Amino acid sequence: SQKIEQNSEALNIQEGKTATLTCNYTNYSPAYLQWYRQDPGRGPVFLLLIRENEKEKRKERLKVTFDTTLKQSLFHITASQPADSATYLCAWMDSSYKLIFGSGTRLLVRP
């Protein structure tokens, strides 16, 4: 079955460092991946979309890569800040045109 997996363990880093979150997918080749941020008690908020023919996408301190050979997308936050602490979700559209979300990785940035 088509699967999308994120590291379920929380990522705990020091302010100013780069946070790197991983999204792996199996048994399917999505045309694009989306990344969302979710804060406690709130709905997910869209951050970035990357297409399969794009190696890298940037938006301010955020960078997303898409490696179709490794079947992996990496999400980077440079110069991380405590305000970046949240859960980050990757999502892809499966062969039935449903947007499927990973379980998310919780990021904690220590001051």
Chain contacts with other proteins (rule: CB under 8 A): 31-32, 34, 36, 41-46, 49, 51, 87, 89, 93, 96-101, 103-104
For other proteins, the closer CB: 34 or 65? 34
Q: Shortest Cβ distance from residue 96 to other proteins (Å)? A: 8
Cβ neighbour number for residue 30 with a 10 Å cutoff = 23
In the complex with other proteins, the residue whose CB is nearer, 40 or 111, is: 40
* Interatomic CA distance for residues 44 and 93, integer angstroms: 16
